[in-house]
Structure 1
Amino acid sequence: MEALRDDVAGWTITVLQTGYPSQLSPYAIGIGILLWTTAFMAAYAVYRHNRVIDAILLLGTAMIVNLSATFTDLFGHLLLFVIAALLLWLRAALVQRQDGWQRRRVNENLEVPAAIMRSGIVFAAASVALAWVLTSVAVAAPLTSAWRSFDGVWPAVRDQFEGAFGSLTNPNSRITGSTFGASFTVQGEWVSNDEVALTVAAPRPLYLRTATYDTYTGRGWERSDGTTRQVAAGDALFDGPTPERPSEAYEIETITVSMAQTLGRNLFTTGSPLEIYAPVVIHQSGGQPVLGGVEAANPIGPGEGYQLSVALSEANKAELGAAGTDYPSVVRDLYLDDSTVTERVRNLAREVTADAANSYERAEALAAFLQRDPSFTYETVAPIPQNGEDLVDFFLFDEVGGRQGYCQYYASAMVMMARSLGLPARVAVGFAPGELTEPNTYLVREANAHAWAEIYFPGYGWQIFEATKSIESRFVRPTGDPSTVAPPRVGIDPLLDFELDPTLRREINALPSVDFIEGGTDVARPDAPSAAESSRNGNALLVAVLILGAAAFVWIRMRHLQRRWRLLPAGDRAWQRLTLAADRAGVGPRPSETIYEYSGWLEEQLPSHVEPIRTVADGKVWQAYSGRRMTQSASSRLEEAWVRLRLPLVWLAARRWLRGIVRRRG
C-alpha cells in the first residue's frame, strides 16, 4: 500500500507540474473505479428502480466508447452484450407482466411464461442476425460514417491529455497508436508492426508527410496554435503566396494513395502539395500560410483513397548550396527559435559543421554526423530524460542513456542543432518510403512510421534530411555544377495559379482500383460516379426490398386474420376484436368478469364511446345466449361499432404507455 500511495502521489505531482509521469498504477486504479461505478449504477437501476433500459443504455454507451478507442476487433464482445441485453429486457418485461397478472388475480398458465421466453429468444436471435447482415451491406453506410467520426475524436483526446497519458504505449489504442496529432512527446518506446498501412502510386520512393511541428517543448514537439480551414476537392491548398511552394527546380506529379487501414483522418502528402482531390482540413501553424497538418474533412474507411498533385523538388546540391539565407518572414518567425538549445549543443553543432561552406553543407554535415557516427545506436526502447532535463541535450551528452534512441530522438537533435546555426528547421511525421511491389507502386507498412527533419532553402522550399541511424534515405541528390547555378528567384510564386493540365504534369500515377473517400474525385475520370452515389443506389435497392418484404409479411398476416374472423359469428367476432385491442392497451378483461361487468368498466375508461361499447357487449350476449342466427342489419351495426372503437383504443394504449413511463421516471 505504501508503494501504491507513493506512485499515486508521484503521478499527481508530475501531472500538476505539466510533466510526463512514468507510473502505471494510477491508470489501473482509475479504470477499476470507473468500471465498478458503471456496473454499480447499472445494477442499482435494475434492482432498485426496475429501469432495465437505463442500465442497458449506460453499459452500452460505455462499451461503444471503449470499442471506439481501440483498433482491436471486439465485435464478438459486442455481440454477446447485445444478446444478454435483449434477454435481460425480455425477462424484465415478463416479470412485470406476471406482477400485473398477480395484482389482477389472473390464474397464470405455467406454459405461458415459457412460451413468451421462447418467442423472445427467437426474436432476439433474429434481431442480432439481421443487424449482423446489415452491417455488411450498403444500407449501413450512414452508421459506418458516424462510427468513423470517432477517428477524429481520440487523437484530440490524446493531444489534450498527453501529459497525463504520457506513459501509455499501446499500439492497438486510438489514443496512443500510430496516429499523428497536433503534438507528440518522446516516451522512450517506439511501437510498430508489419501491417500494411498505405499503398502509393508514385514515380519514385517518397516520404509521406501528414503533420509538421515548429515548437520544441523540451520533451517533444507541437504545432503552434493557428487557423484551421476547409478546402474543397481540387482547390488549391493555399490561394495566396506561401513558402510551402518552391519557385525553382521542381517537377509536378499526380499520385494516388490508398489507405489499407484507418489512421484517424490523417491524409499523407509529399513534396509541396498543390491540390488534393478530396475535401480536406488544413492546419496552418501560427495562423501563417504554412502546412502544419492535413486531414480529411470526412471520415475515411479502410481501402479508400485519394489523389493529389504535388511539386517534387529536383534541386541538386549545388543549387541548394547557392540558395542563400534570404528567408521569408513567415519562416523566420516560426522555424528559427533556438531559445531552449543548451550551450554544449550549440558548441557541438558548430564543431560538426566547422568545415561547411554554406547552409546545405551544414545541414548535410549534421545529418551525416547523427546517422554515421559510431557512438550513436538505433534503439526502439531508449532512456528518457528525468527531472525536467532537455531531450536533445540528454540524447547527445548523457553518459548512461545518451546517443541511443529512435527517429524522434534523431529528428529532434537534427532540427535543434540546425536552428542553433541559423537554419530554419522543423520536424515532420508520417511514413518513410515503402517497398516497391510493382512498377510505380509502393507498399507502406506500419513499420515505416517515421519522424524526420526538414530544412528550408529560399527558392527551393523544404528539403528532407534523414538523420536517423539505420534508416536509408532512399534518395540521392545530384551534385550539380556550382559554376552554372544562378541565384534562386525569391519572393515569387510561379505555382500560385496552378491548375492541373497536361502541359504542367506527367501522366497520372494511379492504382488499378481504389474507392475514393467521401467527396473525392478521380482526376482521370472527374465525371465518374462516386462511391457515395453507388452506396446510395445500393441503399435504395435494399430499402425497397426490405419495405416490400415487410409489406408482404403484413399482407399475409392480415389475410390470415381476416379468414379467422370471417369464420366466427358476428357477435363473437366483434367481442374478440374489442378484447384483443383492449388487452394490447393493458385494459383487457379479467377471467372472473362477466361481459357486462367488463363493458361497464371499459365505458368508464372511454366515456365518450359508451354507445359502441354497449352495442358490442349486447351483440356478444345475444350471440352467446339467444341460440339464434344474427340478422344482417345487426351484424352491420356490430361492425360499425367496432370501426368506431379502433382508434380510441389505440389512443388509450398510447396514453397508458406514456403514463407508465412518467410514473417510472418519477
Structure 2
Amino acid sequence: MSGDTARDLLRDAGTTLAAAVATALGTLALVPVFTDADFRPPALAAVVAVAAGGLLLRVAGAALADRLSPDGAAPGWCTALVALAVPFGQLVVLACVLTALFAPDQAWGGWLPTGGSLADLGAVMAEGTVEMAEQATPALPLTGLVALTTLLAGLVAVAVDLVAVGTRQPALAGLGLLVLFCVPVSTVTGSIGVLPVTAPAAGLALLLFADQHRRLGRRSPEGRRPLLGAGTLTAVRTGAAAVVLGLVVGAVVPTLTEGSFAGGFGPGGGGGSTGTALDPAAALQGQLTRDEPVDLLRLNASVPDPGYLRVVALEVYDAGEGWTVGNLDGETDVADEAELAALPGRRGGRPVDALVTALGHEDRFLPVLYAPVSVDVAEPDRWRFDPGTGTVFGRDVSTAGQTWSVAAIEPRPTAEELAEAAPLPPELPLVQRYTALPDLDPGVDELVATLTAGAQTPQERVRAVYEHFTDPANGYEYSLSTAPGTSGDDLADFLRLRQGYCEQYAGAMAALVRAAGVPARVVLGYTPGTVQSDGSRLITSNDAHAWVEVYFDDLGWVPYDPTPIDTDRAVELPWAPRPQDLEVDPRTDPTPAPLPAPTVPTPQAQPTPQGVPVPQATPQQADSWVPAALRTAGAVLAVLALAAVPAGVRVLQRRRRLATGSPAALWDELTATALDLGRTADPARTPRQVAQALAEAAEPGGGAHRPGRRAVAGSGVAAAVARLARAEEAASYARPGSVPAVGPELRADLATARRGLLAAAPRGARLRALLWPPSLLAGLRAALPRLRWGGRTALRG
C-alpha cells in the first residue's frame, strides 16, 4: 500500500471517529424523550458498529485497489465500487446489530439476520410504532420504542459518515444531527434542558473541527500535521462558538411546548373542575349524565360482595387539565405472566373469581377486579397489562362482544396493618411518581397543613383528608351541576364551593393526599352493579365511578372512596367507613345535568362543561402527525443519502486524481468535467484539438456562455487547457523517464480550466453535473466489460 493511500486512510479514520463521536453526542438530544437512559446503550452500539463497519470496508477497499494497481492509481470502477459498498455495508451491519439486540432468537449465531429474525424484528418495529402512538413524553423505554430509536441513531450515523467521510464534507454532515435534535423539540412538552442542546452542538463543533482541520491543515516539511497548524485555531473558534450558541439556545428552548409522541394515554384534552380530563376510556363518556341508564356489563362473581371493577388509573395531575392517564407499559400481554398483579408485602387478601360479559360496553380498556392475578380473554396477545397501574388495555381490539374471566386477590387490610405502615423513603421512584404535584393554591396547602397537623403516620394523614370530605359537618354535596369557580384554580374552587361529583371528589382527595406526602392516584371504573334474579350483577352507565387509591408500605394500593354514593351501590371498605345517614342515591339528584346524552361509544367532539370526562380520539381513531413527520423525515434523510452517493463518488474520484497528480490523471479529470457538463467524447481528436474546443467553450460569449453569466478570463483558461494538453501528450508519447515531475502549477491549471468550464455552462448542466455526473456512469459502463472508453478522450463542442 502506497504512502499516499495510507495517509488518506489515516485521515479518513480520523474523520470517521469524529463523525461517530458527533453522532453519539447527537443521540443525547433524546434524553428528555425517555424516562430513563435505557435507550443509550443500544443507540451507542449502533453508532459504533456503523463507524467500525465503514472503517473496515474502506481499509478493505484500499487493499483491493492496491492489489489491482500496485504501481498506480486504482481503477475508477474500483473507487466507485468501494464508495457504494461502504454505506450499503454499514446498513447491513446496522441490521445485524438490530437483530442481535431485538430479534436474536431465529438469527444465525444470534446476530446474523435470517428471514425469521427479520420478521421478528419487523414485529418489534411495528410494536414500536404503536407504542409511539400510546406514549407521551417522557416515554417509557419500551422495547419497540428503543428499537426505533436505535434504528434512527444508526441511520443518522450512516448518513453522517457518508457525508463526512465519503464526500469529505464533515461540516455538511452536521445536518444529520439536526434530525436527532428535532425529536425532543417536536415531542417534549415543556423544558428539554441544556444537555439535549449542548451535546448536539458539541457534536457539530467536532464536525466543524474535522472539516477545518482536513481542509486547511498543512504538513510540516517532515510530513507531520501540527496539532495547532493552519486552520486548527479557526476550527477551535468555530466549535467554541457552536457550543456557546447551544448554551444560549438551551436557555430559550425550554419555553417551547410542542407536545408528545401522539398524546397517547398521556395528558391531553380539555377538562375542568378537578375532573379527570380522561382521554382513553371511551365507554365512560357521558355516563354520569344519561337520562336512561345503558346496560354495559354482566358480572358473575364467586363472592356475594365483589369490589370495584377497575378500568384505568390516572396518575398525572395538572392544575389546568386535571387528572390524566400516564404512560402504560405495553410489553406484557395478559398471557405472558403466571401472576399479573399479586399484592405486595407479607399480607394476603381475599381471592375472588369473576366472569364478565360485555353487553353495551365497547372500550379498549378491559374492566377487571382489583389486583388481577390472571385474565382469560380471547386473543390474549392483543391485550396488554401495565403492572404499575394494574390496567389491561387492548391493541387494535375492544371489549365489544367479549366475555372474559378474572382471578384476583382483593386487598383487605386491617386497621392495625394500616396504622403500622411506615413512611416510604422520599427518594423511592414510586413515591416521586405518585406524589408529584404542580404548584398548588396557597389555600390548598394551608388546608392540608391544618388537616394533617399532628398526624404521625401515613394512615393518619390519609384518614384526616378522607374524613374532611366524608364528614357531613363539612357541607360537601354530590351534584352533577356545579357553580362555576372564580379563582382560576379548579381544585381550590371545588374545595371552596364543596359541590361536585365522583371525579371531583376523587381528584381532590388524591391531590390533598399527595400534598400530605403519601402516594395516591385516581381510578376510574365501575361499582359492582345490582343483583339480578339469576344471581349475576348488572352494571349500567349509572355505575360508572371514580375513587382513590393510596399506597402503603408492605400493603400496596388500598382504595378509598370519598364520594357520598348510595350505600346500595357503594363498595364496603372497612378501613374507610362512610357516614350512615345517607338514604338518597345522589345519582338521582333532582337537579338536571345540562349536558346532552352522547351515544356509547361514540366520543364527543368538544369538551363538555363542568369537568365531565372528556372524550378524545384513541390511537385507533386518529393518527398523530408526529409519527408521520418522523417517518417522513427518515424517508427524506434516506433519499438524500442515496441521492448524495453519485456526487460523493465523483468527489472521491476527483480527489484521487488530484492526489495522483500525473498528467494523465489531471487530463482525465478535465475531460470528465467536460463530459459532466454535456460535452460528449470524440476519440478522433487529439488533446490539442480538444484543448482548443474547451478553450473556445470557456471564452466569454462562446460555447454555452450567455449574457449575464460571470465570465472567466478566456486567455487564462486557454493557456491552462493548453498546458494540460501538452503535458498529456508529453506523458503519452515521450520516452520513459524524460518527462519532468509534475508540479503544483499543473494542478492550478486544472482548477483554472474547471472554473472556466463551469462558469460557461448553463445552470441546469452544472446541477446535473453535481447530482448525476455522466462521466461516472460512463466509467462504470466501461469498467464492466473491462474496456477503457476512449483512453485519453477528446471532446466535441
Q: TM-score, normalised by structure 1?
A: 0.41
Question: Which structure dedicates a bigger proportion of its chain to strand?
Answer: 1
Q: TM-score, normalised by structure 2?
A: 0.34
